[in-house]
A and B are shown apart, each in its own frame.
Chain A
Amino acid sequence: MAERNFEVSRLPGFATTAIIVFIILYLPIITLMVYSFNGGASIALWEGFSLRWYEIAWNNDAVKSATMRSLTIAAAASVISTVLASMAALGTTRRDKFKGQTVIYVLINQPLMVPEIVTAVALLIFFAAVKVATGYQGLGYLIAAHSAFCIPFAYLPIRARLEGMDLTLEVAASDLYASSWQTFTNVTLPLLMPGVLAGAMLAFVISLDDVIITEFVKSGGQDTLPTYMLGQLRRAITPEVNAISTALLGLTVVMLTAFFLLTRKKN
C-alpha cells in the first residue's frame, strides 16, 4: 500500500471532469423525464407537475397498438433469436477447433458490423419482392428482420456461458446412464439457463429499441413505438413523447438490470 502506483483518480481535475461527463450524459435524459410531468403543452416551458401526458398517452389508441406491436415483435424476435443463437453457440463451442471457425464467428456477428442502414435497404428490397410473390403483408417480415439482427446479441452471452462450462459434467452425465438428450435437458440446459435468459433479455431490449430497420421494413399501419414516436416528432411535439420515452426507458432499465444480475451470478 505504501508504494505509489499511478492512479487516474489522483490526476488534478479528475473529479471535475467526471462530474461534467456525467452531466452531459444524463442531463438530456433527466430533462426528458422531468418534462414528461409538465402540466403545460411545452417541452421547454415548465408549467407545474401533472400526470396528464401519461394519461393522454395511455388513452391514445395509436400508442396502445404501437406498444402492443413492439412488445409482440420483441417477444417473438427474442425467442426466435435466442433459440437460434443457442444452437449456434452449442455448435461452435461443443467441438474441437475446426477450419473456418473464425469465418463462422464473423458470419454470426455480421449484423453487428454491417451498417444498419445497408441491412435496412437490403431487407426493404428483398421483402418487397417476397410481398409481391406471396401477397403476405403481416408482422412476419418485422419479426424475421428483428430476429436476424438480434442473433449476435443473444449469441454472445450464451457462448460466454458455454465456454465457461466444465465439459466433464456432460461426460459424467453420460457415464451415469444419461442419453445425449437427457444430458442436454438435465445438465447442459440448466447450467446454460442464465446465459440463455441474459441473451433473450438483451435481444428483447435491442428489438424494442430498433428504428432504422423497422422504418424500412414495416408496411402501412405497422408502427412500433419508436417509429410512432419518430412520426410524432415530424408533427407537433408535446410532452406525450416524453411520457412514452420515460416509460420505455423504465422498461429497458428493468430488463438491463435483470441482464446484469443474471450474467454476474455466473462468477
Chain B
Amino acid sequence: MTERAAVTAESVYKVFGQGAHAVHALENVSLSIQQGEFFTLLGPSGCGKTTLLRLIAGFEMPSGGHILLDGQDVTDLPPNKRPVNTVFQSYALFPHLSVRQNVGFALKMQGRPKAEIDGRTEQMMALVKLESMADRKVAQLSGGQQQRVALARALAPQPKVLLLDEPLSALDLKLRKEMQVELKRLQTETGITFVFVTHDQEEALTMSDRIGVMSAGKLQQVASPRDIYTAPVNRFVANFIGETNLLPVTAAKGGYQLGCGVIVSADGNGSTLSIRPEQIRVADSKAKGAIEARVTNLVYFGTDVHAHLELGDGAKMVARLPLPPGGDTGLMRGSNICVDFVPGAARLIGE
C-alpha cells in the first residue's frame, strides 16, 4: 500500500459496562479505508456499526486498539480535534439557528474569517440546493431538506472523512432513492472519503466502492459489492447478502459430493456449499452434475418463479427460474425434475 489510508482501525475493541453485564460491542476490528473511497459498514441491528463510527469520530474511546486518520494516531484526540465530521441519524440540527447558521457553525467555531464563512456557507447551500431556504429555522423544513442541511453542515469544513450513520433511514422510499443518487454525486464531486452505515443491503450494494460486513461486533468480510455477493467468505455473509442455498458437502474425487451423492465443482474452501437461487437452472437428467429434485412448492414473483426443491437426501433448496414468454414453466407441484448449477457459481464457505 503506497497511499496512506484515510481511516485505519488497528485491533479495536470496545466493551460497555463491566463484569457480568459487559457488552462486547466490538472485538478485534482491523480495517483500512482508502482516500476518496465510498466505504459502507453493513450489518444487522446491534452488530456495532454505530459504535465503530463513534470511535472514528471520537465520541467514544476504544477499550483497546488504535484509530488512525490519514496515518496519524488520533486515539486520544477529542472529537473537535479530529478532521472528520458526522451526519447523524437524527440529523441533530441546532433548532435555535437558521439553515445558514447551521451550515456555517463549524467554520465559526474554527474562528475562520467572516468572508470565508459566508462564502463557503453559500457554496455548501448551493451544493445541496437549499439557497432559497437559507434564513429559515430548521424546524420549518421537511425531513429531506433537514437531511440536506445536515450534509451541508458536515461538508462545510471540508473534512478528510465524512461519517454517515444511517442517514437515509428516516426518509420514505422515493426520497431515499433520490438521496442515494445525491450522496453518490456529492461524494464524487468533493472527493471526500465517505464511511456510510446502513443495514440495508441493497443500499450498500448499489452505492459502495467497498463494503465491510459486520456481525456481533466482528468484521466478517471486507470486499467490493461484487465479491461480497459472489464470493462470501462465510455462512453469515452468504446469508445476510441476498438469498442463498447452503448445502453441506464433502471433498470427493473430481469435486465435492452433496448429501444426495451428486458430485459438483466449486471454488473456495470450507465444508458448506453456497449457491444463489438464480444460479440454479433446469437441466437434462443425463447432464454431468445434474441433481434430481422434487418440486414441493412454486411461488410466482412477476418475471420469476421460485421453485422450492427437495433433494434425494431431504436437503432443501430454492431455485429462481425465469418465466418463459408464455408464462408456463411446465413445472408442477409434486413433480420430479433435474437441476444443475451455473458453472463457476457454487462457492465453498467456512462457518
Name B109's contact: one of A166, A168, A169, A177 (CB within 8 Å): A177
CA distance A178 to B108 in the complex (A): 9
CB distance from A219 to the nearest CB of B (A): 45
Query: Is B110 a contact of A177 with CB atoms below 8 Å?
Result: yes
| Chain A positions within 8 Å of B106 at CB level | 176-177
Give 25 CB contacts A-B under 8 Å: A166-B90, A166-B92, A168-B88, A168-B92, A169-B94, A171-B79, A172-B88, A173-B94, A175-B57, A175-B80, A175-B84, A175-B85, A175-B86, A175-B154, A176-B85, A176-B105, A176-B106, A176-B109, A176-B153, A177-B106, A179-B80, A186-B105, A190-B96, A191-B95, A191-B96
Chain B residues, Cβ within 8 Å of A187: 94
- Residue A50 at the chain B interface, CB threshold 8 Å: no
A101 within 8 A of B: no
- Chain B residues near A176: list those with CB within 8 A: 80, 85, 105-106, 109, 153-154, 157
Please report which residues of chain A, range 152-182, place their CB below 8 angstroms from some CB of chain B when the two chains form the complex.
166, 168-169, 171-179, 182
Report the bound CA distance from A175 to B109 in whole Å: 11
The distance in angstroms between the C-alpha atoms of A187 and B96, with both chains bound, is 8
Q: Which of A186-202 contact B (CB under 8 A)?
A: 186-187, 190-191
Determine how close the nearest CB of chain B comes to the CB of A50; give it in whole angstroms.
Answer: 50
Consensus secondary structure, chain A interface: helix
- Provide the residues of chain A in CB contact with B157, threshold 8 Å: 176-177
Given A166-B90, A168-B90, A186-B109; A174-B79 close (CB under 8 Å): yes
- The smallest beta-carbon distance between B175 and chain A, in angstroms, is 22
- In angstroms, Cα B58 to Cα A190, docked, is 25
CA distance A8 to B78 in the complex (A): 57
Nearest CB in chain B: distance from A143 CB, A? 32
Which residues of chain A are within 8 angstroms of B96 by Cβ–Cβ distance? 190-191
Bound complex: CA A176 to CA B155 (Å): 10
Minimum C-beta distance from A251 to chain B (A): 30
A178 and B85 contacting across the interface, CB-CB below 8 Å? no
Contact with B along A28-57 (1 / 0, CB 8 A): 000000000000000000000000000000
**Whole-angstrom CA separation of A187 from B80 in the bound complex:** 15
- How far is it, in angstroms, between the C-alpha of A171 and the C-alpha of B58 when the chains are bound? 10
Name the residue on B nearest A172 (C-beta).
B92
- A166 CA to B139 CA, complexed, in Å: 14
Residue B59 CB within 8 A of the other chain: yes
Are B94 and A177 in contact, with the CB atoms below 8 A?
no
Q: B80 to chain A: closest CB distance in Å?
A: 5
CB-based closest 9 A-B pairs: A176-B106, A172-B92, A168-B92, A178-B109, A177-B109, A174-B79, A177-B80, A175-B86, A190-B96
Across the interface, A174 reaches (CB within 8 A) one of B78, B88, B90, B94, namely B78
Chain A residues within an 8 Å CB radius of B109: 173, 176-179, 182, 186
Q: Which of A166, A168, A173, A191 contacts B105 (CB 8 A)?
A: A173
Q: How far is the CB of A203 from chain B (nearest CB, A)?
A: 24
* Chain A residues positioned under 8 Å from B90 (CB to CB): 166, 168
CA–CA, A173 to B79, complex, Å?
A: 9
B52 to chain A minimum Cβ distance, whole angstroms, is: 15
Give A188 Cβ to nearest chain B Cβ, in Å. 11
Write out the residue numbers on chain A whose beta carbons fall within 8 Å of the beta carbon of B154: 175-176
Does A171 contact B92, Cβ atoms closer than 8 Å? yes
Q: Which residues of A contact B58 (CB under 8 A)?
A: 175
Report A-chain residues with C-beta under 8 Å of the C-beta of B88: 168, 171-172
Q: Which residue of B lies closest to A191 (CB)?
A: B96
Q: Known contacts A169-B94, A172-B92; can you find 9 more A-B pairs with CB under 8 A? A: A171-B59, A172-B88, A172-B94, A174-B80, A175-B59, A175-B154, A176-B106, A177-B80, A182-B109
CB-CB under 8 A from A175, the residues of chain B are: 57-59, 79-80, 84-86, 154
Pick the most buried of A171, A172, A182, A187: most chain B CB atoms within 10 A of its CB. A172
Query: Which A residues lie within 8 Å of B57 (CB)?
Result: 175
Chain A, residues 106-120, CB within 8 Å of chain B (1/0): the string is 000000000000000
Contacts of B84 in A (CB 8 A): 175
